Amino acid sequence: MHAIAHLATLTPLAVAAALQAEPATAEAASGVLGQQIVTGLSNGMIIALIAIGYTMVYGIIELINFAHGDLCTLGAFFALMLVGALGMEAWSGVAGMAGVVLLLAGAAAFCALFNWSIDRVVYRPLRSAPKLTLLVSAIGCSFVLVNLALFWGGLPMEVFGGGVAAAAPKDFPAMVPDSSLLPDAWDSWVSAEAFLRSSPSWNDPSVWWLTWAPRVALAVLVKSRELNFTTSDLLVWCVTLPLMVALTGLVRCTRLGKAMRAVAQNPTAASLMGIDVDRVIGAAFLIGGALGGFASVIYALYNNTISFQMGYRTGMDAFTAAVLGGIGSMPGAVVGGLLIGVARAISDGYIEARWTNSVVFAILIATLVFRPSGLLGAKLRDKV
Amino acid sequence: MKNRTLPLLASLALASVALAQTGTLKIVSSLPRTGSANAQTTSMVNGIKMAIDEVGGQIDGMKIEYEDMDDASPQRGNWDPAVEAQNANRAVRDESVIGYIGTYNSGASKISMPILNKAGLVMISPGNTYPGLTKPGMGEANEPRIYRPSGKINYFRVVPTDDLQGRVAAEWAKELGCTSVYLLDDRELYGKGIADVFEKRAKELGLRVLGREGIDPKASNYKALANKIKASGADLVYYGGTTQTNAGQIAKDLRSAGVTSKYMVPDGCFEEAFILAAGAENLEGRTFITFGGLPANQLQGRGAKFREAYIARYRVEPEAYALYGYEAGRVLLDAVKRAKAKTREGVLEAVRSTRDFEGALGTWSFDENGDTTSRIMSGQSVEGGKFKFVKVLGQ
pLDDT digits (tens, 9 = 90+) for B3-50: 555 555 555 555 554 444 558 999 999 999 987 788 889 999 999 999
Q: Between chain A and chain B, how many beta carbons pairs sit less than 8 Å apart? A: 136
Is A66 an interface residue toward B (CB < 8 Å)?
Answer: no
C-alpha torsion angle, residues B278, B280, B281, B285 (rounded to 10): 110
* Residue A185 lies in domain: 181-226
Residues A93 and A154 in one domain: yes
In a domain, A296, yes or no: yes
Alpha carbon of A286: minimum distance to chain B alpha carbons (Å):
25
Q: pLDDT band for position A382 (50/70/90)?
A: very low
For testing contact with chain A, the best of B220, B237, B284, B316 (most A CBs within 10 A): B220
Region B356-363: what's the mean pLDDT? 88
- Contact: B227, A39; criterion CB under 8 Å: yes
- Contact: B228, A32; criterion CB under 8 Å: yes
Mean pLDDT of chain A: 84
- Contact: A305, B230; criterion CB under 8 Å: no
* CA B274 – CA A168 distance, rounded (Å): 9
Contact list in B for residue A161 (CB cut-off 8 A) is 272-273, 276
Interface of A with B in 128-187 (CB under 8 A): 146-147, 150, 161, 164-171, 173-174, 178, 180
pLDDT of residue B4: 56
Does ipTM come in above 0.95? no
Lowest mean pLDDT among A33-47, B8-22, B306-320: B8-22
In a domain, A95, yes or no: yes
By C-alpha distance, the chain B residue nearest A311 is B220
Interface of A with B in 222-241 (CB under 8 A): 228, 230, 232
H/E element, A170: strand A170-171
In a domain, A12, yes or no: no
Residues A318 and A304 in one domain: yes
Task: List, by residue range, all CATH 3.40.50.2300 domains of chain B.
Answer: 12-160+299-364, 162-291+377-393
- Contact: A353, B214; criterion CB under 8 Å: yes
Residues A282 and A322 in one domain: yes
In a domain, A22, yes or no: no
pLDDT of residue A132: 92
Identity of the residue in B37, B75, B258 whose CB atom sits nearest the CB atom of A228: B258
Q: Which amino acid is at A175?
A: M
Contact list in A for residue B256 (CB cut-off 8 A) is 178, 230, 232, 304
- Distance from CA of residue B386 to its chain's centroid? 22
In a domain, A272, yes or no: yes
Q: pLDDT band for position A23 (50/70/90)?
A: very low
pLDDT of residue A318: 95
Pick B10 or A30 by higher pLDDT: B10
- Contact: B233, A25; criterion CB under 8 Å: yes
Query: Tens digits of per-residue pLDDT, A106-140?
Result: 999 999 999 999 999 999 999 889 989 999 999 99
- Contact: A39, B223; criterion CB under 8 Å: yes
Q: What is the pTM of this model?
A: 0.79
- Contact: A349, B228; criterion CB under 8 Å: yes
- Contact: A349, B77; criterion CB under 8 Å: no
- Contact: B231, A29; criterion CB under 8 Å: yes
Judge contact between B152 and B146, C-beta under 8 A.
Answer: no
Number of domains in chain A: 2
Residues A146 and A286 in one domain: yes
- Contact: B220, A309; criterion CB under 8 Å: no
For testing contact with chain A, the best of B42, B70, B227 (most A CBs within 10 A): B227
Q: pLDDT band for position B2 (50/70/90)?
A: very low
Lowest mean pLDDT among A311-315, A319-323, A336-340, B25-29: A311-315
Q: Does residue B299 carry a pLDDT above 80?
A: yes
Q: Does residue A341 carry a pLDDT above 80?
A: yes
By C-alpha distance, the chain B residue nearest A308 is B77
* The domain made up of B12-160+299-364 is a member of CATH 3.40.50.2300: yes
Identity of the residue in B220, B248, B256 whose CB atom sits nearest the CB atom of A299: B220
Q: pLDDT band for position B1 (50/70/90)?
A: very low
pLDDT of residue A229: 85
Residue B214 pairs in a beta bridge with: B185
In a domain, A21, yes or no: no
Judge contact between B121 and B129, C-beta under 8 A.
Answer: no
Q: pLDDT band for position A11 (50/70/90)?
A: very low
Region B321-330: what's the mean pLDDT? 95
Residues A246 and A346 in one domain: yes
pLDDT of residue B293: 85
pLDDT of residue A13: 43
Residues A135 and A194 in one domain: no
Residues A168 and A281 in one domain: yes
Q: Does residue A166 carry a pLDDT above 80?
A: no
pLDDT of residue A22: 42
Q: Does residue B323 carry a pLDDT above 50?
A: yes
pLDDT of residue B3: 53
Query: Tens digits of per-residue pLDDT, A251-310?
Result: 889 999 999 999 988 989 999 999 999 999 999 999 999 999 999 999 999 999 999 989
Q: pLDDT band for position B272 (50/70/90)?
A: confident
By C-alpha distance, the chain B residue nearest A30 is B231
Alpha carbon of A236: minimum distance to chain B alpha carbons (Å):
14
Is A308 an interface residue toward B (CB < 8 Å)?
Answer: yes
HEC string of chain B equals: CHHHHHHHHHHHHHHHHHHHHCCEEEEEEEECCCCCCHHHHHHHHHHHHHHHHHCCCEECCEEEEEEEEECEECCCCEECHHHHHHHHHHHHHCCCEEEEEECCCHHHHHHHHHHHHHHCCCEEECCCCCHHHCCCCCCCCCCCHHHCCCCCCCEEECCCCHHHHHHHHHHHHHHCCCCEEEEEECCCHHHHHHHHHHHHHHHHCCCEEEEEEECCCCCCCCHHHHHHHHHHCCCEEEEECCHHHCHHHHHHHHHHCCCCCEEEECHHHCCHHHHHHHCHHHHCCCEEEEECCCCHHHCCHHHHHHHHHHHHHHCCCCCCCHHHHHHHHHHHHHHHHHCCCCCHHHHHHHHHCCCCEEECCEEECECCCCEECCCCEEEEEEECCEEEEEEEECC
CATH for B162-291+377-393, options being 3.40.50.2300, 3.20.20.120, 3.40.1160.10, 2.40.30.10: 3.40.50.2300
pLDDT of residue B328: 96
Query: Tens digits of per-residue pLDDT, B203-227?
Result: 999 999 999 999 999 899 999 999 9
Residues 6+ apart with CB under 8 A from A230: A177, A178, A179, A180, A181, B256
Return the percentage of chain A with pLDDT > 70, whole number: 86
Residues A166 and A47 in one domain: yes
- Contact: A305, B255; criterion CB under 8 Å: no
Alpha carbon of A266: minimum distance to chain B alpha carbons (Å):
38
Query: Tens digits of per-residue pLDDT, B367-386?
Result: 999 999 988 899 999 999 99
A42-68 exposure pattern, b = at least 16 Cβ within 10 A, e = fewer: bbbbbbbbbbbbbbbbbbbbbbbbbbb
Alpha carbon of B3: minimum distance to chain A alpha carbons (Å):
40
* CA A216 – CA B223 distance, rounded (Å): 29
Q: pLDDT band for position B145 (50/70/90)?
A: very high
Q: Does residue A91 carry a pLDDT above 90?
A: no
Q: Does residue A28 carry a pLDDT above 80?
A: no
Contact list in A for residue B283 (CB cut-off 8 A) is none
Residues A238 and A336 in one domain: yes
Contact list in B for residue A165 (CB cut-off 8 A) is 35-39, 273, 276
pLDDT of residue A162: 74
CATH number of the domain at A174, please: 1.10.3470
Alpha carbon of A305: minimum distance to chain B alpha carbons (Å):
7
Which residues in B have their CB inside 8 Å of a CB on A?
Answer: 34-39, 74-75, 77-78, 184, 187, 213-216, 218-225, 227-228, 230-231, 233, 243, 246, 248-249, 252, 255-258, 272-273, 276-279
By C-alpha distance, the chain A residue nearest B226 is A349
Query: Tens digits of per-residue pLDDT, A68-90?
Result: 999 999 999 999 999 999 988 88
pLDDT of residue B210: 95
Residues A70 and A88 in one domain: yes
Residues 6+ apart with CB under 8 A from B211: B182, B183, B228, B229, B232, B234
Residues A139 and A270 in one domain: yes
In a domain, A27, yes or no: no
Return the percentage of chain B with pLDDT > 70, whole number: 94
By C-alpha distance, the chain A residue nearest B228 is A349
Query: Tens digits of per-residue pLDDT, A190-237?
Result: 667 777 777 777 777 777 777 777 777 777 766 666 777 888 899 999
Residues A171 and A187 in one domain: no
Alpha carbon of A311: minimum distance to chain B alpha carbons (Å):
9
- Contact: B252, A146; criterion CB under 8 Å: no
Q: pLDDT band for position A157 (50/70/90)?
A: confident
Contact list in A for residue B230 (CB cut-off 8 A) is 28
C-alpha torsion angle, residues B162, B163, B166, B170 (rounded to 10): -170
